[in-house]
Structures are given as structure tokens and as C-alpha cells.
Structure 1
Amino acid sequence: MGLWDWTLKAYGQAGVPQACLTLQDEFGQNTSLLLWAVWAETEDPAVLARAADIARRWEALALTPVRAVRRALKPAFEGVADAAREDLREDVKAVELRCERVLMESLEPLGGKGGAHALAALEAASAAWGEPAPANALAALAAALS
């Protein structure tokens, strides 16, 4: 199964969306990188460094600005109809999802099935990203994915 299809299936599992949002919003992690590492079953430092570099640059260029616009559109805006603002927010949300998919499609060919268990892959990917997320937050995602 390809990475994107695997990700959609994984994201549908109970606990995965919340664990991903916690890792993203509270601990500054790139969830696309984390999910890719689990899918690829990798904890290879060289592969993870390459993937983290791509993810970091793509996040700065596309994900962060688009996410900021989506979040900015959440509250009411005087002079703009709520329905129009919400419709635009949904359009931006679709663009944000597309940005995540482009990143994952870029990461997919970097590695495959290295045999690492989910938690080991998450820990290695989190460390490659920068300041590692707390072990309990990574363990929550690993548990939700299993």
C-alpha cells in the first residue's frame, strides 16, 4: 500500500488524529515526517536526516503559511459573511491537505520497510526533526497506530 493511502487509513484510526495534533501543536513536530517514518519502518539516521531536511524546507515554504491562513480564517471577520469566510477556510484546508500529500509523495521514495517498530521509528524521526517530542506523546501515536 502506498504511503498516502496508508496515511488516510491510519488517520481514520481512533486516537491517531488527536495524537498527531498534539505532536504538531504542542511539540512542534512534523506529523507527515512521523507518519512516513512509521510507514517506512525506518530509524536510519541518514535517511531520516534527508527526510527531515525536505520536510523542514517544505513546511517553511508551504505548510506553515497555508496553515496560518486557515487558522486566521476561523474566527468571524467583521464585514465578511460567515458563510463566505467558512467556504474559503474549507478551500484553504483542502490546500493544506494537498501540501501534506505533496510532502508525503516526496518522502515516499526515500526509504521503505526497514523493519523498525512504530515507536522506534517515531523516536528516531522526532529526533531527526529537532527537539524530540516527549516519549509519552510518541508512545500515544504508536499505540493508536497499532
Structure 2
Amino acid sequence: MAIWEWALGAYARPDVSEACLALQDDHGQNVSLLLWAVWAETSDARLLASAAQTARAWEARVLAPIREIRRRLKPSFPPIDERAREGLREDIKDAELRAERVLLETFEQMTERPGGTPALEALRAASRAWGKPASDDALARLARALS
């Protein structure tokens, strides 16, 4: 199954979105990198380092600015019409989602073959490759939600 379809299905599972947001907001992790590592079943340090480097650059140049704009548009902005503001915010959300898809599909192209690594081990390896590893509890929460 292609990574985008897999990720959409995974994200729709109970507790996955909450676990992903906690890893992103509380632990500074890149959710796309984590999900890809599980999908690819990889703990290959070389491959994860290359993917993390790509993710860091994409996040800095594309995702973080889009996410910041989306978050700034959340509260009311008088005298801007509420429907117009919220419509723009939805457009920005769509752009953010598209940027996530581009990154995941880039990772998919980097994947040679599934590696057979269990989800928690893949998440730990991806978190280490990202930089400061997330807590094992937070990673285990996502692994459980994905199983």
C-alpha cells in the first residue's frame, strides 16, 4: 500500500492523532518521519539519517511557516469577517496537509524495501535520527495506537 493511503488510514485509528500531536508538540518530533519509519519497517540508521536531514530542511522551509500561519489564523481577527478568516485557515490547512504528503511521498521514494522492524523499534530509531529522542512512553503510545 502506498504510504499516503497507509498514513491516512493510520491517522484515522483511535488515539493515533493524539499520540502524533503529542510527539510533535511536546517532544519536537517530525510525525511524517515517525510514520514513515513504521510504514517502511526500518531502523536503518543511514536511511533514517538521510530522511531526517530531508525532513529538517522541508520542515524549516515549508512546514513550519505554513503551520505558524495556520495557528495564527485560529483566533478571531477583527474586523476580518469570521467566515473569510476561517475559509483562509482551511486553505492553509490543506496546504499544510499537501506539504506533509509531499514529504511522505519523498520518503516512500527513498524506501528500498520493507525492513521487518517492529513499530516501536522503528519509532525509537526515527526519533533518535531526528535529534533529541522522544520519551519511550510517548513512542510506545503511538506504537500501540498503530497496532
The reply to whether TM is greater than 0.5 is yes
Name structure 2 gaps, 5 residues minimum.
none
Any idea what SS the aligned residue of 1:14 has?
coil
Normalized against structure 1, the TM-score is what?
A: 0.99
Q: Secondary structure at the match of 2:134?
A: coil
State yes or no: 1:137 paired with 2:138: yes
How many correspondences in the alignment? 146
Cα deviation, 1:77-101, whole Å, max 9, x if unaligned, reads 0110111100000000000000000
Q: Which amino acid aligns with 2:68?
A: A
1:138 & 1:130 partners in 2: Cα distance? 14
- Map of 1:1-146 to 2, 5 A cutoff? 1-111=1-111, 112-146=113-147
Amino acid at match of 2:122: A
How far the C-alpha of 1:109 sits from its partner, in A, is 1.7
- Deviation per CA, 1:35-76, whole angstroms, max 9, x where unpaired? 000000000000000000000000001000000000000000
5+ long unaligned stretches in structure 1:
none
Give the TM-score normalised by the residue count of structure 2.
Answer: 0.98
State the identity as a percent: 58
Moved over 3 A (4+): none
> Cα distance, 1:110 vs. partner?
1.5
1:110-144: CA deviation from partner (whole Å, max 9, x where unpaired): 12310100000000000000000000000000000
